Structure 1
Amino acid sequence: MTQQGPVENLLVQFNLSLPEVWEIFIYSVRDGFVQVSAFVAITVLLFSYVQYRTGGRIVTFLEDNERLQPLAGALLGLTPGCGGAIIAMPLYIRGSISFGTVVATLAATAGDAAFVIIALAPEAALYAYGIAFVAAVLFGYAIDVWGLGVGRVDRAVERIGRPMTDGGFATTSVDDDSPSVAGYDPDGHDDCHRPGTTSADDGVMTPLSHAAHVVWWVVAVAGLVAGVTYLARGAPEVPLELAPTFFGLFTVAGIAGTALSFYLHFFGRRYIGEGEAGRIRDDFQSAYETFQHAAMETSMVTVWVIGAYLVYEYGVVVFALDIGALTAAAGVLAPIAGALLGLIPGCAPQIVFAGLYAEGAIPFSALTANAISQDGDALFPLLAIDMKAAIIATIYTTIPALITGVLLYYFWPFAEFGFGVL
């Protein structure tokens, strides 16, 4: 009888086998890039390119028109996927938009689950995301005007632990119009890595990092093609495959894109002068710099997305979670469960949730509550820079989700299950 080692014994305790651990890892690494990052890259690039062509006038317009900010934030969040909402987070980091705008953006965020619902239940998507948009705008303005206890939640979260940034202006922007973060200047450059500078130990790493950046965009385009095809085919199961087929493109683009993203985020930014991921620039000096910023921003999101995918997938296996059973609870517990599920950052559980709705397993009130509560991948840039602000923001997006979900449950005039499903 073969004696098991400590690793094998540990895996047995968690109901896992080594092949299963490896399979979950590879699938998460691959799917995270194709299903999320490729779409994020294009959205961030479009906004950055507009910034480049307009010389930063969009950010200036938002700074000069504070009353329009929650509305503008909700419109960014309403775009399918998470790219629009991700754009808003750096604007808050630099103090350009209010905390109410952040909440409005996250509450309206449709996430990548939107692609599933739009494809399988378009009428439900129209109503759910329309309701989420209205709730997001109203709640965003309410926070900016009345505060709604943000200060008290801010102090409560502060007792849990210090924010990740020094000085962490987080939610204090509700009361303080002059936030500042150590090591950060208004142009979006940090103290360590300014555009155009490189490390002393430069060598071959600078041209290598620039080459990795160019290849990253080639892979991102391939990933976008695979992602669009994947959605057009109805989000089928995609086996691992290395061949000149759709499955092969999906696999190669996903794994290569994630590997390049990790390189750019942890190493490449030291050599190509782009250390300000998670922050927004006033303008860009060239089109190449615009592409570079979008790649770095997306690479940072990819790191968080893959981490979230792995935590979620391993958690489902270890704890034998059945999201369908948990969220299809009887009565008013269904929208409450949908709202609470939205507290989990990332898109993986939300995509599963959207699929369950299309199968008729959960009611429309639960779908809408989840649509409002979920922050998608937009929360990751804020988590990376100021964890306290991210925690408070996700708490505040859950409040309108609970209220709206319960009201829909009691007053929605149409069929609760299967509404809008093709």
Structure 2
Amino acid sequence: MNELLVVLLESLRDGYVQVSAFVAVTVLAFGLLQYWTDGAVIGAIEGNERLQVLFGGILGLTPGCGGAIVVMPLYVRGTVSFGTVVATLGATAGDSAFVILALAPEAAVYAYAIAFAASVATGYLVDSVGLGVSRVDAAVAQLSPTATPDGGTAVDGGIRPNPAHDYGGPAPTHAHESGPDRHSRVLTPLSHFAHVLWWVTAVSGLVLGTLYLLRGGPEVALVADFGFDGLFTVTGIVGAVLSLYLYAVGRHYVGEGEIARARDSFASAYDTLTHAAMETSFVTVWVLVAFLVYEYFVLLSGVNVATLAATAGVLAPIGGAAVGLIPGCGPQILLASVYAEGGLPFSALTANAICQDGDALFPLLAVDAKAAIVATIYNFLPAVVVGVALHFLWGPVFGMAEFGFGVL
């Protein structure tokens, strides 16, 4: 029981400091951009169908998952293509990017550039050919058009492989249009206080998380004192608990009752901060679930996923891609740390970079699990192809087959 409790507390701590604090910054940055441009960014993505896939890849390429997270609700809303989702998830660098950028910047440039190119190409292929997208959309969006034999969709008398999604009913409502859905003399001010305190812990977590990465991701003791380990532990657990509160209770009394939705614009800077906190809290809940499932699986089974991915030969990139199938950034951060220590070849890192979806997959999983699974499968295939090609063809020529390529 003591060991199970330790895993719980460490997952709460690590999930917040190592993941949520960085997600908060990227989501807030995008939100502030939306606030300053009055929604022009999302409008540009939604209004340029031919460039949506490219825009999605660029957003996914930003370190962390904030840029990619904002694309998922756009698909649910029916304003971006499924290929855009595939490109975004495939290019997503996730929070493991912070580890590689800090410890192996040269490897990061090559790996994420290859991932971006492969993912954008896959996204355009999905949109141009169809690849069963209409069947995925029908499960969630309840498309009114009928599917064609080639996997496309009949629209307006014509056939398009992957048209813009057209919901048969009214557009999904967004709680932020009417504000919080409840008011309480106690819970409303308490929720506002929790929101402000959450940002204090987020800033502290960002500083501590950055120091943690710069130190090479060392083991952090589960203690409560004024040293680095103590501040890391207290900040992480407090931030995680506040995230759980905002997700379960606070969002109904401050900000918005419905989350996992991209904003078109924001009324104020505080409104922008509130939205970023609610979105990050939503992701935090899923990250904690993923951390706990992963950690308890390793604890109870004795299996080390990263060790399996480090198998010599061509199994290494396949193993890296397989680890990328696991939602969330925890396993990916672990794999990145193993690479930085010289335990994996570059082909495995690149395959993982293409296949991993980071925390961006969680909002889509919550709303449309089938679409999330199909998008992950679509990215797994090019991840294996590129990883194996790096192992056999390009790796030996450019020295990328070596363990520790680009590590400082």
Give your verdict on TM over 0.5: yes
Amino acid aligned to 1:354? A
- Offset, 1:358: 2.1
2:102 aligns with 119
The residue aligned with 1:250 is 232
- Matches for 1:138-287 after TM superposition, within 5 Å: 138-151=121-134, 154=136, 167=142, 174-175=162-163, 177-179=165-167, 184-185=172-173, 189-190=174-175, 194-199=177-182, 202-287=184-269
5 Å-filtered alignment, 1:129-144, equals: 129-144=112-127
Q: Could you tell which deviates more after superposition, 113-122 or 291-300?
A: 113-122
The counterpart of 1:416, out of the listed 396, 402, 407, is 402
Distance in 2 separating the partners of 1:206 and 1:166: 34
The amino acid of 1:212's aligned partner reads A
Note closer, same or farther for the CA distance 1:253–1:211 as it changes in structure 2 (3 Å cut): same
Contact 1:121 1:358 in 2 (8 A): yes
Selected match of 2:362 from 366, 369, 380:
380
Which sits farther off after the overlay, 219-228 or 25-34? Answer: 219-228
Q: 1:416, CA displacement in angstroms?
A: 2.7
Q: Name the CA distance, whole Å, in 2 between partners of 1:291 and 1:328.
A: 41
3-state SS, counterpart of residue 70 of structure 2 = helix
- CA-CA distance at 1:399 after TM superposition: 1.4
1:361 deviates by 2.3
The number of residues matched between the two structures is 390
Map of 1:5 onto structure 2: none
- In structure 2, give the amino acid aligned to 1:316: V
Per the alignment, do residues 307 and 225 of structure 1 end up closer, same or farther by CA in structure 2, a change over 3 Å counting?
same
C-alpha deviations, 1:372-417, integer Å up to 9, x for none? 0000111011111221211111111111101111111110221432
Q: Which runs of 5+ in 1 are unaligned?
A: 1-17
Distance 2:267 2:297 in 1: 44
Q: Deviations over 1:265-322 (max 9, x none)?
A: 1111122250231101221112111111110000000000001000000111111112
Aligned counterparts of 1:382 and 1:262: Cα–Cα separation in 2: 19
Q: Is the 8 A contact 2:79 2:165 kept in 1?
A: no
What is residue 69 of structure 1 aligned with on the other side?
A: 52
Residue 93 of structure 1 pairs with residue 76 of structure 2: yes
Taking a change above 3 Å as real, the CA distance of residues 195 and 239 of structure 1, as seen in their structure-2 partners, is farther
User: Is this contact kept in 2: 1:94–1:280, CA < 8 A?
Assistant: no
Deviation string 1:197-230 (CA, Å, 9 cap, x unpaired) is: 432x633211111111111111111111111111
Describe the SS at the equivalent of 1:130: helix
1:319 aligns with 2:301: yes
8 Å CA contact 2:80, 2:164 repeated in 1: no
Using the TM superposition, give the Cα deviation of residue 180 of structure 1 relative to its aligned residue in structure 2, in angstroms: 5.8
User: For residue 3 of structure 1, what is the aligned residue in structure 2?
Assistant: none
CA RMSD, aligned part only?
A: 2.2
Instruction: Report the CA distance shift for 1:180/1:50 in structure 2 as closer, same or farther (over 3 A).
Output: farther
Could you state the TM-score of these two structures normalised by the residue count of structure 1? 0.87
Is the 2:81–2:165 Cα contact (8 Å) retained in structure 1?
no
Give the corresponding residue for 1:301. 283
Moved more, 363-372 or 296-305: 363-372
Q: 1:328 aligns with which of 310, 327, 335?
A: 310
3-state SS, counterpart of residue 174 of structure 1: coil
Shift of 1:183: 7.8
